[in-house]
Structure 1
Amino acid sequence: MTVKYTEDLRNGKNDEKTPNAFSAAKFVDDLLKDGSKVPCDNTIEEFEVNDIPKFYDAKKYKAGQNFYHKHVFALFFSKFLGLIVTLSSASILAVLIMTKMSSSPMTAYRRYVATIFHVNLWYEHELTPDSKAMKSLRRIKSFHNSASMRSRKIERPPITQTDMVLTQFGFMGFGIARTEMIGVYGATKEELEGYIHFWRVIGSIMGIQDRFNMCRDSLEETREICEELINRVYRPYVAKKDKDFVEMTSYLTDGLWYTNPMLNYRVFVSFMYDMLQPKECLNNNHESYFDLGFFERWYYKILYGLMYSLKYDICRLYHNFHHHLRMWIIHWYPFLAVFKFGYKNAMVSIDINNVKTHAN
């Protein structure tokens, strides 16, 4: 019903008998057109609200956290690929370049390790007005507000609702639209809807208006929005191979290599580009993003095999354990980063108790 309605709209048809049927195409139209005109900083009243949203459901929220912990290796991997794809947006990239916080492997390392620490807090702690998770969210929100206001001061566009939703996709979109391709097998509808609810709540607290929030009550509707964004936004954006995109993604991968030496820029970007292909083309040959060398093609196949192996519980648990071990090393002694960047630069901490006011 929903899919047919979306296809009819694209073909210029509109079933008057179902005027209230959801259309992912219309949702994305609104997001790209009107969402790009609505800032996500303290120039709009909604941004000042720091409360837990009224639609928050503690049971669903907890289900989303549990789902993440059950598939932590795969979903963390999907977030890394989501970070890469988010950088294909020119407006998001412009803000990152302006802040100069991701313009080298070292600064990218520090920025994204801090992001990892913040996101881990959201998954590990309950959501209450004074919880560590809420303090972390307020901290990140203050960073976004500061960056948006700095952009305004130099007469550049602020961070918008569109930017925030495209970033929201980066954190959860592949987990919904390409669930098995990123190594999550056997997920139930309740688990996926809990995951969606988790990110709907996070997005709302960060300033995304309900009108533009891509995480909806329905798994099917959210998945359709993900597909629309993949087809209409991310695949054409990434295909441009913009110079700034290539440069910033290389900094991202090179920086995070010191947290995981298995990262390879060309292989992982090629894998991400594969996930952006239409579903009917996912298992067929298509133009590769990079002309991979022999060893890169070999590693690429291993990566695919790794994602497939996660369908077996023993493999999932093994890689989950290694993920937690890696997080412990990053927290306490990131020896590769210490060797490359020095102890002071390698040790990243987040001060969730020091939150600037929005006016700052």
Structure 2
Amino acid sequence: MKMFCSAGSEACEIGPTECPVLARLHPKGIGSPECSVLARFTHKDIGDNELTFSGQNCWNSLRNSSCSERFGDNEKYIMCNNNNNCSADINRSGKNMEAVCNGYTSQQEASSVKDFSTEEASPRLKELLEGLNEPGDSRNPPARPEWLDRELFDRGRKFYQKFLFCIFFSDLLSLLMAFSLSRILRPLIYTERSDTPTRALRRYVSTILHIITWFSGDVWDPNDRAHKDILHVRNIHKNSADVFNSSENYDQVQRANVREKGHAEPKCPFSQALRQDLQAQAPKGLRLESRDNPPLYISQWDMALTQYCFLGLILSYPNRMGAWRATKEDLEGFVHFWRGIGWLLGIEDKYNFCKGTAAETKALCKEVERFVIVPSLSRSSWDNEHMSFSLMDGINMMVPGLSYPAMFRFLADTLGLSVPLFVRNTSLKHTVQYWVMRLLLHFAFWIPGVVYFFNLLLKLSLRIVQEKHPGWFPESRKVIFTNT
């Protein structure tokens, strides 16, 4: 492989190596104190990490000096024995380390080459960021808050009933985005509940059934099944957070990756093409974690980001999701519905993603998309690609015609991202699936009755899954579907 330096918008080759390095150069040159060289690679036991060499001899320290440097955000060290330099130590460890092809592939958001200060964030986003280290359950009472507008909340429930398939489709796309966020991805890999198609089908059908229960019933009535169900989910989140953040499990969660779970990377993963496609398009990203600020799993920020995943795309792009006939009032109700659901799940109102109007929440969605989602997608890895394939292959058992390559291409088109290398790697089958999706959601769903028909098909598919796998869902959690 070749080594490149970047200075401003230009890049130049600086020498051969078997471990790719991205160097950030000061205008004064490679020997200046401001220079730093960032080497990224993947270790079989630690995952994606980085080495940084700074100062007067940053280039020489990488090539010629013996050294001991800390691995990114992990309390692990690489030792250069027998006076061998760090570069040689990396190079000769082919069986233990896997070189990354592009230098932007670390799963650690804190390792992003391009970070932006929170000073550039809007006041609302800054407020949400304060929840990074706050537990996800604020212990607020599961009762109606003073700000609840019951009429508006019920309008949001009707929006779900009217556009169920559109919301289901947008939620699948949102999961593809969520898998690029390491603080969300690591716990999912660790639990091993969605790393195969069958496991993913079970997990995400269960999620869909929970949401259907919430909008079909009265979550504010303590005697209603919907209220009991949402408190059950809240308790699951709390118990999971206790496990992930415990001293016994935290390091294992931090190191979780699909390779250790037995899912080897293929020779030509889509993630390599995706990184190359998005490097130049990705804006500066938020610095969400670092060695000095390790992640608190299932924090208030994570809960707010989960709200974004459930409503962000259909709120920002309703027509592209097939909700052509959604009105402004519908979307206001949808946002208020999720504000109420967030409250019942334990989100403090300060950190509730849906605290504002539909217009204000849409602006926040766009900001998260720009400074969190797209930069994370530009660092895609085999971990999130494998989980995405598992999700879509699993859902394809229930809703035929879906695949990860077709769905991600649709997502990229929605976000206005150009992914020519990714598209070039897709098959004819995936291309046909993509164009069928576009034809249906961008045109056919405008025709009266088509959305209603797909709502019925989705309900039928969910009922079949419940009947085919009765052991997956306890009787108390099953959903009985009607023809409405």
Taking structure 1 as the reference length, what is the TM-score of the superposition?
0.80
Deviates more, 1:150-159 or 1:194-203: 150-159
Match of 1:152, as an amino acid?
N
How has the CA–CA distance of structure 1 residues 68 and 344 changed in structure 2, closer, same or farther, with 3 Å as cutoff?
A: closer
**1:198 equivalenced with 2:198 (yes/no):** no
- Which one of the candidate residues 380, 387, 396 is aligned to 1:248? 387
Gaps of 5+ in 1: 1-11, 15-22, 334-342, 354-360
Of Structure 1 and Structure 2, which has the larger fraction of its residues in helix?
A: 1
Match of 1:294, as an amino acid?
L
Alpha-carbon distance, 1:24 to partner? 7.3
Alpha-carbon distance, 1:76 to partner? 1.4
Secondary structure, counterpart of 1:182 in structure 2: coil
CA distance, structure 1, for counterparts of residue 381 and residue 415 of structure 2: 17
**1:36 equivalenced with 2:175 (yes/no):** no
Match of 1:305, as an amino acid?
L
Match of 1:79, as an amino acid?
D
Match of 2:377 in 1: 238
After TM superposition, list the pairs within 5 Å mapping 1:149-298 onto structure 2.
149-153=242-246, 154-155=249-250, 157-277=296-416, 287=420, 289-290=422-423, 291-298=425-432
Match of 1:155, as an amino acid?
Y
Tell whether the 8 Å contact from 1:64 to 1:193 is kept in structure 2 after alignment. yes
Tell me: higher relative CO, structure 1 or 2? Use CA pairs within 8 A at least 6 residues apart: 1
CA distance, structure 1, for counterparts of residue 404 and residue 232 of structure 2: 30
- Which one of the candidate residues 301, 304, 324 is aligned to 2:459? 324
Alpha-carbon distance, 1:225 to partner? 0.3
How has the CA–CA distance of structure 1 residues 57 and 263 changed in structure 2, closer, same or farther, with 3 Å as cutoff?
A: same
- Which one of the candidate residues 109, 117, 139 is aligned to 2:232? 139
CA distance, structure 2, for counterparts of residue 181 and residue 222 of structure 1: 18
Match of 2:148 in 1: 56
Secondary structure, counterpart of 2:212 in structure 1: helix
Alpha-carbon distance, 1:286 to partner? 5.3
Secondary structure, counterpart of 2:351 in structure 1: coil
**1:301 equivalenced with 2:435 (yes/no):** yes
Deviates more, 1:153-162 or 1:112-121: 153-162
Match of 2:349, as an amino acid?
D
C-alpha RMSD over aligned residues = 2.4
- Which one of the candidate residues 312, 319, 323 is aligned to 2:447? 312
Gaps of 5+ in 2: 1-116, 252-295, 479-484
Of Structure 1 and Structure 2, which has the larger fraction of its residues in strand?
A: 2
CA distance, structure 2, for counterparts of residue 62 and residue 48 of structure 1: 22
How has the CA–CA distance of structure 1 residues 352 and 318 changed in structure 2, closer, same or farther, with 3 Å as cutoff?
A: closer
Match of 1:204, as an amino acid?
W
Match of 2:245, as an amino acid?
R
How has the CA–CA distance of structure 1 residues 52 and 288 changed in structure 2, closer, same or farther, with 3 Å as cutoff?
A: farther
Match of 1:203, as an amino acid?
G
CA distance, structure 2, for counterparts of residue 92 and residue 350 of structure 1: 29
Secondary structure, counterpart of 2:122 in structure 1: helix
Alpha-carbon distance, 1:49 to partner? 2.6
- Which one of the candidate residues 124, 130, 148 is aligned to 2:223? 130
Secondary structure, counterpart of 2:400 in structure 1: coil
Match of 2:195 in 1: 103
How has the CA–CA distance of structure 1 residues 350 and 251 changed in structure 2, closer, same or farther, with 3 Å as cutoff?
A: farther
CA distance, structure 1, for counterparts of residue 330 and residue 476 of structure 2: 31
Secondary structure, counterpart of 2:350 in structure 1: coil
CA distance, structure 2, for counterparts of residue 108 and residue 322 of structure 1: 20
Tell whether the 8 Å contact from 2:140 to 2:348 is kept in structure 1 after alignment. no
Identical positions, percent: 29
Alpha-carbon distance, 1:288 to partner? 5.9
Alpha-carbon distance, 1:47 to partner? 2.3
CA distance, structure 2, for counterparts of residue 152 and residue 286 of structure 1: 37
Structure 1 runs (4+) deviating above 6 angstroms are none
CA distance, structure 1, for counterparts of residue 211 and residue 196 of structure 2: 22
CA distance, structure 2, for counterparts of residue 234 and residue 91 of structure 1: 13
Match of 1:17 in 2: none
Match of 1:322, as an amino acid?
L
Deviates more, 1:196-205 or 1:211-220: 211-220
CA distance, structure 2, for counterparts of residue 332 and residue 228 of structure 1: 42
Aligned residues: 312
How has the CA–CA distance of structure 1 residues 73 and 344 changed in structure 2, closer, same or farther, with 3 Å as cutoff?
A: closer
How has the CA–CA distance of structure 1 residues 349 and 261 changed in structure 2, closer, same or farther, with 3 Å as cutoff?
A: farther
Taking structure 2 as the reference length, what is the TM-score of the superposition?
0.61
CA distance, structure 2, for counterparts of residue 24 and residue 182 of structure 1: 27
Tell whether the 8 Å contact from 2:305 to 2:353 is kept in structure 1 after alignment. no
- Render the CA deviation track for 1:49-87: whole Å, top value 9, x for unaligned: 322332222211110111111111111111121222222
Match of 1:267, as an amino acid?
A
Match of 1:3 in 2: none
